[in-house]
C-alpha cells in the first residue's frame, strides 16, 4: 500500500472528524491537494486514490506537470503569488485562482480568460495576520476590491483565502480563521467559499467554516525545497 494513499486515508479521517465536531454537513469541506515541489507521478497517485483538485504555487512547474497529466480529468487551482506577466497563462490553464489580492491582476485574468472556457473561479487572498511580508489585501481594502472583482465578466468571485501566520495554538488559529469568515459575511455578496486551513491547522479552519482545505505535507510528505 502506498504512503500517499495511506496519508489520504488519515487526512480524510481528520477532515471527517473536524467536520462532525463543528456540527457541519458531511462533505461540506473539500480537499485541495497541494503538490508544489512534488512530481507529476505523485499527482497521478493521489488522483488514483480519488482526489480531483490539485493546487500549485509556481506557474512553470505547474505547466510542466499539466503537460504530463493531460490524460487525467484534474481540476487545477493556482494558489501562489501572481505577477502581471503570468496572468495570461494562469487564465488559460487553471480552473480556480485562490491568490488574487489586487484589482489589476483580476482585470488581466478576466481579459485573458479564453472565450471558450467557463468563468475563472476566484478567491481574494486577505492578509488576516497583518504581517508586512505576506501577500494578501488588507482587510480595510477588501470591500472595494471584492465589489470590483465581482463585476468582471470572465471571473466568478467565489470567496476568500488566507494564510495566517503559523501558530500551534488552536485559539490563535481560530481567531485568524474567524476573522476571514466574518470578513466574508460582511461583504454580503453571496460568496460560498472559504479557502483556509493547511496541514497543521485544518481542524481550526474547519471549525470556523473552511470549504477548501489546502493540504500539502500531510498528503505528500515534507518538501525538499520551496516555501514551508
Distance CA 203, CA 181 (A): 15
197 binding ligand PLP? (CB under 6 A): no
130: exposed, middle or buried (C-beta count within 10 Å: 0-12, 13-18, 19+)? Answer: exposed
Report the residue from 42, 43, 46, 79 that binds ligand PLP according to the rule CB under 6 A.
Answer: 79
What letter does residue 56 receive in the DSSP assignment? E
Give the DSSP letter string of 93-135. H-SEEEEE-SHHHHHHHHHHS-TTSPPEEEEEEB--S--TTS-
Cβ closest to ligand PLP, residue 56 vs residue 174: 56
The CB-of-143 to ligand PLP minimum distance in angstroms stands at 23
Give the DSSP letter string of 6-27. HHHHHHHHHHHHHHHHTTPPTT
Residue 50, helix vs strand vs coil: coil
Which residue is closest to ligand PLP by CB? 216
Which parts of 18-37 interact with ligand PLP (CB under 6 A)?
34, 36
How many residues bind ligand PLP (CB under 6 A)? The answer is: 14
Cβ closest to ligand PLP, residue 81 vs residue 143: 81
The CB-of-217 to ligand PLP minimum distance in angstroms stands at 3
Cβ closest to ligand PLP, residue 36 vs residue 158: 36
Candidate segments 88-96, 100-108, 131-139, 213-221, binder of ligand PLP by CB under 6 A? 213-221
163 binding ligand PLP? (CB under 6 A): yes
Residues in the chain, total? 228
Distance CA 73, CA 71 (A): 7
198 binding ligand PLP? (CB under 6 A): yes
Binding stretches for ligand PLP (CB under 6 A): 34, 36, 57, 79, 163, 198-200, 214-218, 227
Amino acid at each position: 500500500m502506498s504512503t500517499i494513499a495511506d496519508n489520504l486515508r488519515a487526512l480524510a479521517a481528520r477532515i471527517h472528524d473536524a467536520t462532525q465536531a463543528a456540527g457541519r454537513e458531511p462533505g461540506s469541506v473539500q480537499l485541495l491537494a497541494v503538490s508544489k515541489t512534488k512530481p507529476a507521478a505523485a499527482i497521478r497517485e493521489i488522483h488514483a486514490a480519488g482526489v480531483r483538485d490539485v493546487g500549485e504555487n509556481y506557474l512553470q512547474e505547474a505547466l510542466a506537470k499539466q503537460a504530463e497529466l493531460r490524460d487525467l480529468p484534474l481540476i487545477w487551482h493556482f494558489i501562489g503569488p501572481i505577477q502581471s506577466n503570468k496572468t495570461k497563462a494562469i487564465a488559460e490553464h487553471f480552473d480556480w485562482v485562490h491568490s488574487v489580492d489586487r484589482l489589476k491582476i483580476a482585470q488581466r485574468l478576466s481579459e485573458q480568460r479564453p472565450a471558450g472556457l467557463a468563468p475563472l473561479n476566484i478567491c481574494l487572498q486577505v492578509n488576516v495576520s497583518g504581517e508586512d511580508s505576506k501577500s494578501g489585501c488588507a482587510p480595510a481594502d477588501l470591500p472595494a476590491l471584492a465589489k470590483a472583482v465581482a463585476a468582471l465578466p470572465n471571473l466568478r468571485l467565489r470567496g476568500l483565502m488566507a494564510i495566517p501566520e503559523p501558530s500551534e495554538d488552536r485559539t490563535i488559529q481560530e481567531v485568524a480563521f474567524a476573522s476571514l469568515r466574518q470578513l466574508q459575511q460582511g461583504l454580503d455578496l453571496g460568496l460560498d467559499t472559504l479557502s483556509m486551513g493547511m496541514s497543521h491547522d485544518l481542524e481550526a479552519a474547519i471549525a470556523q467554516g473552511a470549504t477548501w482545505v489546502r493540504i500539502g505535507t500531510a498528503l505528500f510528505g515534507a518538501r525538499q525545497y520551496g516555501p514551508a
